[in-house]
Chain A
Amino acid sequence: MNPAIEFEALAKRYGMLAALDGVSACVPRGQVIGLLGHNGAGKSTLIKLILGLIAPSGGRLDVLGQSPWRAHALRRRIGYLPESATFYANLSGRELLDYLARLKQAPRAQAQALLERVGLAHAADRRIGTYSKGMRQRLGLAQALLGSPELVLLDEPTTGLDPQATRELYRIVGELRADGRCVLVSSHLLAELEPHIDGALILRQGKLLAAGSLAALGEQAALPAHMLLRPHENAGAELMTQLAARGLAAQSRPDGRLELQVPREAKLRTLRELLANPAIADLDVREPTLAQLYDWLGAGPHPAAEARA
Chain B
Amino acid sequence: MNSIFIVAWKEFRDDFRNRWTVALTVLFALLALGIAWFGSAAAGRVGFTSFDATLASLTTLGAFVIPLIGLLIAYDTIVGERDDGTLLLMLSYPLARGQLVAGKFLGHCGALAAATLAGFGLAVAIMQLMQPPAQTLQAWLHIGRFILSASLLGACFVGMACLISVQTADKSRAAGLALIGWLASVVLFDLALLALLVVSGGNPVERAVYPYLLLLNPVDVFRLVNLTALGDGAGNDLLTGMTAHHTYSPALLCLVLLGWAVAPFAWAMLAFRRKEI
Q: Which segment, of B33-41, B88-96, B168-176, faces chain A?
A: B88-96
What 0/1 readout, one digit per residue, does chain A (34-76) give for beta carbons within 8 Å of chain B? 0000000000000010010110000000000000001011111
A239 within 8 A of B: no
B86 contacts A90, C-beta separation under 8 Å: no
> Which residue from A14, A82, A84 sits with its C-beta under 8 Å from B92?
A82
A76 contacts B92, C-beta separation under 8 Å: no
Complex interface: chain A residues within 8 A of B276 (CB): 14, 54
CB distance from B43 to the nearest CB of A (A): 47
> Which residue from A48, A53, A82, A103 sits with its C-beta under 8 Å from B95?
A103
A85 contacts B89, C-beta separation under 8 Å: yes
A7 within 8 A of B: no
A102 within 8 A of B: yes
B85 within 8 A of A: yes
B6 within 8 A of A: yes
What separation, in Å, do the CA atoms of A51 and B17 have in the docked complex? Answer: 32
A104 within 8 A of B: yes
CB distance from A16 to the nearest CB of B (A): 14
A78 within 8 A of B: yes
A86 within 8 A of B: yes
Known: A48-B277, A85-B89. A90 touches B95 (CB 8 A): no
What separation, in Å, do the CA atoms of A105 and B88 have in the docked complex? Answer: 19
B85 contacts A99, C-beta separation under 8 Å: no
> For residue B83, which residue of chain A has the nearest CB?
A86
CB distance from A252 to the nearest CB of B (A): 51
A72 contacts B85, C-beta separation under 8 Å: no
The winner among A14, A73, A87 for most chain B CB atoms within 10 A is A87
Complex interface: chain A residues within 8 A of B14 (CB): 88, 90
A100 within 8 A of B: yes
B10 within 8 A of A: yes
Within 8 A of B (CB), among A87-120: 87-88, 90, 99-100, 102-105
B91 contacts A53, C-beta separation under 8 Å: yes
CB distance from B16 to the nearest CB of A (A): 11
CB distance from A90 to the nearest CB of B (A): 6
> Which residue from B84, B86, B92, B94 sits with its C-beta under 8 Å from A53?
B92
> Which residue from A51, A84, A99, A102 sits with its C-beta under 8 Å from B91?
A51
Known: A53-B88, A53-B277. A103 touches B3 (CB 8 A): yes
Complex interface: chain B residues within 8 A of A72 (CB): 94-96
B18 within 8 A of A: yes
A90 contacts B17, C-beta separation under 8 Å: yes
What separation, in Å, do the CA atoms of A104 and B17 have in the docked complex? Answer: 24
Question: Can you list 12 pairs linking A and B with CB atoms under 8 Å apart?
Answer: A48-B88, A53-B88, A72-B94, A75-B92, A80-B92, A82-B85, A85-B89, A86-B84, A88-B14, A88-B84, A88-B86, A99-B6
Q: Which residues of B contact A (CB under 8 A)?
A: 3, 6-7, 10, 14, 17-18, 84-86, 88-89, 91-96, 276-277
Which 7 pairs, one residue from A and one from B, show the smallest C-beta to C-beta distance? A80-B92, A75-B94, A76-B94, A103-B93, A72-B94, A102-B6, A82-B88
Q: In the complex, given contacts A82-B88, A82-B89, A143-B89, what are 12 additional A-B residue pairs having Cβ atoms less than 8 angstroms apart?
A: A53-B88, A54-B277, A72-B94, A73-B94, A75-B93, A76-B94, A78-B92, A82-B85, A86-B84, A86-B86, A102-B6, A103-B7
